[in-house]
Structure 1
Amino acid sequence: MANEISRLIDMLYERVEEAKAPALKPNLSMVDRNEILDLLDELRDEIPAEIKRAQELLAARERFVEEAKRDVDRMLRQAELEAKTKVSESEVLYTAREKANQIVSRAEERSRQLYQVTNDYSEDALARTEEAIRMALEEVQQSRVRFRSASNAKMQEQKEMLDETPAAPTITNEDSEF
């Protein structure tokens, strides 16, 4: 279309240049009025179409620019969201690791405490058991000493009783009626 407008303008230019001047007025030219008007009509028909085409191109360009801006804005928002998500995930991961480390540290400390308490309790229980066994052994030993003493005393008493009683007559088979 731009070529058509240029061609029509060139034709108009040629017609004016080729036009003949009247003898007494060299600055004036005579052209075929109908031919020039036809060229101007064609030009008028072409110009709105060309302007319309240019407007369509400008509108298309504007739409393209707007879409590109929206795409860029969308990509920026998406990138920001992804960055925030990654930062958030990193923070969550860092927080989780810190919390896990704290839990492990507390568990290790609690384990050490329980181990110490268990050792102390076991040591105390064994010491009390040892003391109870020692006291029971002493009691058994004392009971044994008392038993021996009582037994010896009883044996002595029996011996004395046997020594004090007169001798009993001995019975023989002859004395017996059976």
Structure 2
Amino acid sequence: MSSRIEQIIDEIEEYIDNCKFQPLSTTKIIVNKDQIDELLRELRMKTPDEIKRYQKIIENKDAIIADAQAKADNLIKEAQAHTNEMVSEHEIMQQAYSQANEIVMAATEQAQQIMDNAASDANDIRIGALQYADDLMAKAENIIGRTLEDYTTKYDSLVNTLQEAYDVVRNDRSELEIPGKSEQGLEAEFGSVQ
């Protein structure tokens, strides 16, 4: 799929290469909005599934944390239910409280660990997705910048060459002193002929 993204970037570069410059400008080009929108839309559609999956995980971060919290709450409820069943005698009661506290502490630690892991994973995925998107954008920026610089240089060179040719032709033309078609013009140029 990344090869198709590179093809689309090449198509954008080729499209920009074929755009005409705005009148009286050497840096601005005229772009057909529909064509460039279509190329960008296709680029977005070809974004790797991995990035889409990362974005989904980032969007579902709250659901992941809520699920971890629900599991922790269930563990705590189970511990409390277990504690309530063991409250029949004083000795059993003491033991039940001790075990319940241990279970509650273990459940709380486990819930916190699940929530920390989910938040860390979501953050790592988000950073990875942003880095990947930044790398793609940097590549596109580099290609477009080089293309723009290359064509600006070529355009400036063409203008300079045309100006030099124009100056030579104009200078040569001014050196040509073509007499008028009348006899007076010929006499003035070659003297009186008898």
- What TM-score comes out, normalization by structure 1 length? 0.48
Structure with greater Cα Rg: 1
Higher relative contact order (Cα pairs below 8 Å, separated by 6+ residues): 2
